[in-house]
């Protein structure tokens, strides 16, 4: 399918290593994909769902030991440890290869190797990048078809270039003790073995689009960020684009697909989704920052997704979607998960594949669907998909937003003083952990720019790269903000309504970018005047409520500064002096 000598040479080497029974090139044709779906159904790897209610949709289950990203088994391998940094698991490149080569030796004997050429970003975009994933999993092929631009077009995009990411995946025996997800950023290479769960095996997603791409951006002068991209269209047709970074389970997909509240909808405002998870950003010919979404689909967390929390995401799953580790309603031949509605089916198979008797669920945690169960849905299904989704040049970014779950510390919204202070704000992000990463849930951890699990090189250098991008952008840099939808009262209830009403905060952000409203200068940044947050149509939230949501407890912020200091200490002399200076200045302002 290609005459690219770099691809052919690498493929020959990998075939010799894993020794598949046969090699199949994935051309992206519907006929080939239909045959693979039929094969997966015949072997029981997938199950077909109700063609009337969920046309083209499939159900898949992973092994019970293989249900989430495994950060403890995810490595950044470089020649020098300092280049991977203190946050990443590291092993020297050749040492890791020596460890993994025996696991890969002959691992595909008796199996088919699928060769998946794929493009991250719109075909024809100068900002898109090509990868090739070798896998022994039909599940991976069918998911990559949804999540990327896969097949012949990707090879056309690559041409005879050697600039492609080399991905090798084998589910092997899905052994937990031999599971590795390894990035070699200096070699444009990803190796994944002994997992069959999406986030570990769809190598275009976090592995390439963030870990490898963040390093490529560092070297090439652009940014790969864990950010949604949305556009707010005013009644006059003007669209302003916002990117936003949140750790998992902080409402990122909900915000990306936000439905305007009535107060804005009746005026003619619309919200458009460009991306729900990842933004690649470059400086355009006009000196502004432009963002593309490198993905073609949504890999969303199912539990909690419903018609109220995220109507557009739910609509996106209604056809040609793959559901992983959700419950199977046998009467309807449809799917169910906690939070979909209040009526769990009784004739049901839980996510582990076991038939449930009555209401006694056997899965750990007593859930019908796994807390990290997923849907892989084509972006084209999304009712609010932006018409700029495939724009090869991307969309211009007006504002960048950081956020996380903070019960008491961060106000509803504040603006950084300038770009460098905004980088400090992003670097200091913290949130409660969620089921998307294995480990304890509900623990507050520092997650700079929501990139802690995804930065493919030393995070001290990554902060430096952000500062450098700000210098290049100058006065054309997007304004940087921080939001917190998750402030709670003394009983632990959320005070701000969230969901679509978050648009009220975004509208203040855009007003600030245009210089239309004033703000109050505080030790941590510019905070709105409570009266400037539009509360029309909100019965339970008063200006006084907002005033409370915008309050700043200096003692809590000084405590928080200790956590930032602890984080910064990890980077030693790789921490940019500018960030240490920003922290010292903020502490001084708080102490006044």
Catalytic residues: 250
Residue 291: closest CA among 202, 400, 376: 400
- Mapping DSSP onto H, E and C, the string for 122-164 reads CCCCCCCEEEEEEECCHHHHHHHHHHCEECHHHHHHHCCCCCE
What six digits make up the tokens of 375?
């849907």
Rounded to whole angstroms, the Cα distance separating 508 from 529 reads 10
The answer to whether residues 436 and 372 touch, using CB atoms and an 8 Å cutoff, is yes
Residue that is written with structure tokens 């790969």 in the block: 224
CB burial string 435-445: b at 16+ within 10 A, e below: bbbeeeeeebb
What six digits make up the tokens of 270?
């619309």
Rounded to whole angstroms, the Cα distance separating 171 from 584 reads 48
Residue that is written with structure tokens 């700000």 in the block: 470
- Measured at the CA of 150, the angle between CA 149 and CA 156, to 5 degrees, comes to 90
Residue 26: closest CA among 167, 187, 162, 128: 167
Residue 430: closest CA among 442, 444, 440: 444
Rounded to whole angstroms, the Cα distance separating 303 from 287 reads 41
Give Cβ neighbours of residue 353 (< 8 Å, ≥ 6 apart): 61
Rounded to whole angstroms, the Cα distance separating 34 from 257 reads 30
What six digits make up the tokens of 197?
């769960």
The answer to whether residues 544 and 550 touch, using CB atoms and an 8 Å cutoff, is no
Residue 388: closest CA among 157, 154, 229, 223: 229
Residue that is written with structure tokens 């997007």 in the block: 478
Question: What's the alpha-carbon Rg for the chain, to the nearest Å?
Answer: 24
Residue 572 DSSP code: G
CB burial string 473-482: b at 16+ within 10 A, e below: beeebbbbbb
């Amino acid at each position: 399918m290609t005459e690219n000598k770099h691809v052919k040479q690498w493929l020959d080497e990998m075939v010799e290593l894993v020794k598949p029974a046969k090699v199949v090139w994935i051309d992206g044709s519907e006929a080939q994909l239909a045959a693979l779906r039929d094969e997966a159904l015949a072997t029981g790897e997938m199950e077909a769902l109700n063609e009337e209610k969920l046309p083209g949709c499939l159900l898949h289950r992973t092994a019970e030991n293989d249900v989430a990203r495994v950060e403890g088994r995810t490595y950044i391998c470089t020649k020098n440890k300092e280049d991977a940094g203190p946050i990443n698991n590291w092993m020297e490149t050749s040492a890791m290869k020596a460890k993994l080569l025996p696991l890969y030796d002959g691992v595909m004997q008796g199996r088919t190797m699928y060769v998946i050429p794929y493009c991250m970003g719109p075909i024809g975009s100068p900002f898109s990048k090509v990868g090739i994933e070798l896998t022994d999993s039909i599940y991976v092929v069918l998911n990559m078809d949804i999540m990327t631009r896969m097949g012949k077009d990707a090879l056309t995009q690559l041409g005879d270039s050697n600039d492609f990411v080399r991905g090798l995946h084998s589910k092997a025996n899905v052994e937990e003790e031999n599971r590795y997800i390894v990035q070699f950023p200096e070699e444009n290479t990803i190796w994944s073995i002994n997992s069959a769960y999406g986030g570990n095996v769809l190598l275009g997603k976090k592995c390439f689009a963030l870990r490898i791409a963040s390093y490529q951006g560092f070297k090439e002068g652009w940014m790969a960020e864990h950010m949604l991209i949305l556009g707010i269209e005013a009644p006059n047709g003007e669209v302003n684009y916002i990117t936003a970074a949140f750790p998992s389970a902080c409402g990122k997909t909900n915000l990306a697909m936000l439905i305007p509240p009535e107060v804005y909808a009746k005026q003619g405002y619309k919200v458009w989704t460009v991306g729900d998870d990842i933004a690649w950003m470059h400086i355009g010919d006009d000196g502004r920052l432009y963002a593309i979404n490198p993905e073609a689909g949504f890999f969303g967390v199912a539990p909690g997704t419903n018609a109220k929390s995220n109507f557009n995401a739910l609509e996106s799953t209604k056809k040609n979607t793959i559901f992983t580790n959700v419950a199977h309603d046998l009467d309807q031949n449809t799917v169910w998960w906690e939070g979909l509605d209040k009526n769990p089916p009784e004739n049901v198979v839980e996510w582990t594949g076991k038939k449930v008797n009555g209401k006694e669920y056997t899965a750990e945690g007593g859930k019908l669907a796994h807390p990290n169960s997923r849907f892989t849905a084509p972006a084209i299904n999304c009712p609010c998909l932006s018409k700029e989704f495939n724009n090869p040049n991307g969309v211009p970014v007006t504002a960048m937003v950081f956020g996380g779950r903070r019960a008491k510390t961060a106000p509803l919204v504040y603006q950084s003083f300038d770009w460098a202070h905004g980088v400090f704000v992003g670097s200091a992000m913290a949130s409660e952990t969620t089921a998307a990463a294995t480990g304890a849930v509900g623990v507050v951890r520092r997650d700079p720019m929501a990139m802690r699990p995804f930065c493919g090189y030393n995070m001290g250098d990554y902060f430096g790269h952000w500062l450098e991008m700000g210098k290049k952008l100058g006065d054309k840099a997007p304004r940087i903000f921080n939001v917190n939808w998750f402030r709670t009262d003394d009983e632990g209830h959320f005070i701000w309504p969230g969901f679509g009403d978050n648009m009220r905060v975004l509208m203040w952000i855009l007003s600030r970018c245009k210089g239309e409203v004033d703000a109050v200068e505080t030790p941590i940044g510019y905070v709105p005047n409570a009266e400037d947050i539009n509360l029309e149509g909100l019965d339970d939230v008063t200006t006084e409520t907002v005033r409370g949501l915008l309050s700043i407890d200096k003692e809590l912020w000084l405590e928080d500064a200790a956590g930032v200091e602890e984080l910064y200490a990890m980077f030693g002399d790789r921490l940019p002096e500018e960030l240490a200076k920003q922290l010292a200045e903020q502490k001084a302002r708080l102490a006044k």
